[in-house]
Each structure stands twice: as C-alpha cells, then as structure tokens.
Amino acid sequence: MQTILVTGGAGFIGSNFIAYYLAKNNNCTIVNLDKLTYAADIKNLREVDNNASYKFIHGDICDKQLLINIFKEYKFKGIIHFAAESHVDNSIENPSEFINTNIVGTHNLLEVAKLFWIDNPETSNKQNRFLHVSTDEVYGSLKETGFFTENTPYAPNSPYSASKAASDFLVRSYHHTFRLNVVTTNCSNNFGPKQHDEKLIPTVIRKALNNEKIPIYGTGKNVRDWLYVEDHCKAIDLVYQNGKSGETYIIGANNEYTNLKIADMVCEILDANLTKEESYKKQISFVEDRLGHDFRYAIDATKIKNELGWKPMQNFKESLEKTVFWYLNKYRN
Ligand SMILES: NC(=O)c1ccc[n+]([C@@H]2O[C@H](COP(=O)([O-])OP(=O)(O)OC[C@H]3O[C@@H](n4cnc5c(N)ncnc54)[C@H](O)[C@@H]3O)[C@@H](O)[C@H]2O)c1
C-alpha cells in the first residue's frame, strides 16, 4: 500500500486526477493538501469524499513545518504537485501570490522531500518520486508555425509563466544536485469538468446563459492546443509510473484552435441543445487584449508517445460536448 501526497487536489486538474487515480488503483492512499484558495472547490471531490483511501488536509505548501509534520505522519512514497496560482490575468494584477505559492511553495516541497527521501538515513528511499506539474507557457509564444518540444528554450512572458519556469528550474536542480527522483510535465491548455468559472470555456457558457456579452480578448486569434483533462490525467499517471528520473515530458493533443473558434464551437453546442431565437454567437464581444498576450502555443508530444506509449484517447468534439453539458448542469442547478 502506497501513500501519495497530491497538492492542489481541490482545483481543476488535481480533483480530476484524484478521482481518476483512485478509480484505477486499489493499492494506494491519496492525501490531498490544499489551501482552498478562491480557485478550489471542495465539491470537486464529492465522488471520493467517502473513499477510505482518500484524505483531505487543509493547508498551505508555503507552511514548511506543516509539510514536515505530514511527511512524518504519512511516510509518502510520492508527490504529485499541482498546487499553484494558475490564472495569468491574476498574475498581471497581483504577482506576489504567484511567487509565494509557485516558487516558495514548490521549493518547500522539494526541501522536505529531500529531507525525508535523501538526507535522513531512516526514511531515505531513492525510489520515492516527485512529479511536478507545469505548463507549456514556460516556453513563451510561437508564431503561426512550429511546435514546442522538451528542448525549446524557456522564454516565459507573464508573471505566471515566469513563476512556473522558476519552479521547473528548482525541480531540475534538486535532481541534478541532490539526485532527488523528479519528473516534470509541461502541458497545454486543459479543458473539461470542474474548471474554475474564470477560465475561457466556463466563461463562455455562463455569459451565454446569463444573456450577457461573451468577452473574447483582442481579435480572438490567439491559438491554444486544447487537451482534455482526462487525457492529461492518464499522461501524468504514465509519467509518474514510468517516466525517466530527471526528465521532462511535454503533453498536448494536437487540438489547435483560436479562442474565437472555441467560443463559436461552444455556442454551436448551446444552440443545438437549448431553445433561443438567435444564435448564442451573437453575444460574442471583443474586449481589450490581455497585456503581453502570447499568440500561440502548440506541442510536439512525440517523446511521451514514443517513450511511454501515451496518446490522447478522447475525440475533441465529443469531449467539448461532454464539457459543455457538465457546465450546463452546474449553472442551471
Ligand atoms: N489548467 C490548465 O490548463 C493548465 C495548463 C498547464 C499547466 N497547468 C498546471 O497544472 C496545475 C493545476 O492547474 P489547475 O488548472 O488545476 O489549477 P487550479 O487553479 O484550478 O487549482 C489550483 C489548486 O491549488 C490550490 N493551491 C493554491 N495555492 C496553494 C498553496 N499555497 N498551498 C496548497 N494549495 C494551494 C488551490 O486551492 C487550488 O485547489 C498547476 O500547477 C498549473 O500551473 C494547468
């Protein structure tokens, strides 16, 4: 029986991951450490709340003593680290929390993992693994062509991506210097159930249903590579189980769409399923662009496909439809 620490498991991807992982593995316990910031929703965890293999701890990864206490108590065999401030717009308004959680918090986790897994002869175990979840935004912005690979030089453009880049480098350094068993994943934009209302797809649906303008930044031409969250969870699981220590794997599903196209497709699903005289697309309205808005992200996921046999299993249109229905259910109840 293994006990794994998941950080930030009350957020979007973490909560999907916990449900996925516990459904698949009956030989592990997950301890979810989450500060419950505005971005968390404890209801995201309803389906695992009564699972004897799941435990929730309300706490902050910046609290090093708390980390030491829970490491002592649970003797973790692994960490899957999702906890972060994750919304680029907030990092432009107020970067400080991004520095605290994304950099200082990640450093605390690395320090405590090193303390228990490397330094202390009674608890040391080089098999114990630290998986760091990061973003493709650390690579900066692409023009119309080309793809990010694991070898693309870092060029973060927002305080959010800069803080994630710093955390990636810290993780890398703890492997290189202390031989901590780490793996890092850098994924593209996720979509799916349980995402916070502030993100693009939930915003389009919410505004559409409220008969409000659907805000799209600039001209709506910015391109993202959309990854269904369940495919991402499978990729994280594979990297955690079989990834090479010290390596990075970038994850994307080759679903490149502009923000405007995503809004259009969501409106089309709403049009097809709800009764309204005119199309929801009429509510789309362009607003002043985000400062420093990256133009395009796109991923070449050859490494994770070749080395670990991962590939996205979900059809984009079907998973977008599933996602829209999930939010319809949420916003109309
Ligand atoms: N959502 C995406 O499209 C995407 C894309 C690439 C990478 N990522 C990365 O994936 C990870 C998860 O993203 P998400 O979209 O689920 O984020 P999210 O904002 O939905 O959730 C983050 C969670 O972390 C928790 N948290 C924040 N600060 C904390 C702290 N100091 N201590 C403990 N918990 C804290 C929050 O309460 C929340 O539950 C992040 O590291 C993010 O950078 C996300």
CA of 86 to the centre of ligand 1 (A): 5
Atom of ligand 1 nearest to the CA of 14: 16
Calculate mean pLDDT across residues 57-63. 98
Give the rounded percent of residues in the chain with a pLDDT score beyond 90: 99
Output the CA–CA distances (angstroms, integers) from residue 40 to 25, 110, 232, in the order listed: 24, 23, 19
pLDDT band at 1; cut points 50, 70, 90: confident
User: pLDDT tier at 332 (50, 70, 90 boundaries)?
Assistant: confident
Protein residue closest via CA to atom 21 of ligand 1 = 11
Q: How many CA atoms lie within 13 A of 225 on its CB side?
A: 26
pLDDT tens digits, one per residue of 184-210: 999 999 999 999 999 999 999 999 999
Ligand 1: residues with CB < 6 A are: 7-8, 10-14, 33-37, 39-40, 60-62, 82-86, 101, 105, 133, 135, 164, 187, 189-190, 196
CA distance 230 to 185: 15
Mind listing the pLDDT tens digit for each residue in 67-85? Answer: 999 999 999 999 999 999 9
112: CA distance to ligand 1 center in Å?
20
Q: Is 136 annotated in the active site?
A: yes
Give the tokens for residue 278.
């005119």
Give the pLDDT confidence score for residue 37 in this predicted structure. Answer: 98
pLDDT per residue as tens digits for the range 223-259:
999 999 999 999 999 999 999 999 999 999 999 999 9
- State the average pLDDT over residues 93-111: 98
220 vs 94: CA distance, rounded Å: 24
Q: Tell me, in angstroms, the distance from the centre of ligand 1 to residue 165's CA.
A: 15
The CATH architecture to which 2-195+225-256+293-314 belongs is 3-Layer(aba) Sandwich (3.40)
Look at residue 294 in the predicted model and tell me its pLDDT.
Answer: 95
Three state DSSP letters for the chain: CEEEEEECCCCHHHHHHHHHHHHHCCCEEEEEEECCCCCCCHHHHCCCCCCCCEEEEECCCCCHHHHHHHHHHHCCCEEEECCCCCCHHHHHHCCHHHHHHHHHHHHHHHHHHHHHHHHCCCCCCCCCEEEEEEEHHHHCCECCCCCECCCCCCCCCCHHHHHHHHHHHHHHHHHHHHCCCEEEEEECCEECCCCCCCCHHHHHHHHHHCCCCEEEECCCCCEEECEEHHHHHHHHHHHHHHCCCCCEEEECCCCEEEHHHHHHHHHHHHHHHCCCCCCHHHHEEEECCCCCCCCECCECCHHHHHHHCCCCCCCHHHHHHHHHHHHHHHHCC
Residue 160 annotated as catalytic: yes
Question: pLDDT tens, 167-181?
Answer: 999 999 999 999 999
Q: Supply the pTM of this predicted model.
A: 0.98
Reported as a single tens digit per residue, the pLDDT across 288-324 is 999 999 999 999 999 999 999 999 999 999 999 999 9
C-alpha of residue 99 to centroid of ligand 1, in Å: 14
pLDDT at 268 over 90: yes
Q: Which of 34, 60, 85, 137 is catalytic?
A: 137
In a mutational test of the pocket of ligand 1, which residue from 38, 79, 81, 82 has the highest number of ligand atoms less than 8 Å from its CB?
82
Return the pLDDT at 96: 98
Under the banding of pLDDT at 50, 70 and 90, the label for residue 333 is confident
User: What's the whole-number average pLDDT of the chain?
Assistant: 97
Residue 195 CA: nearest ligand 1 atom is 20
Mean pLDDT of 83-107: 97
How far apart are the C-alpha atoms of 286 and 124, rounded to whole Å? 55
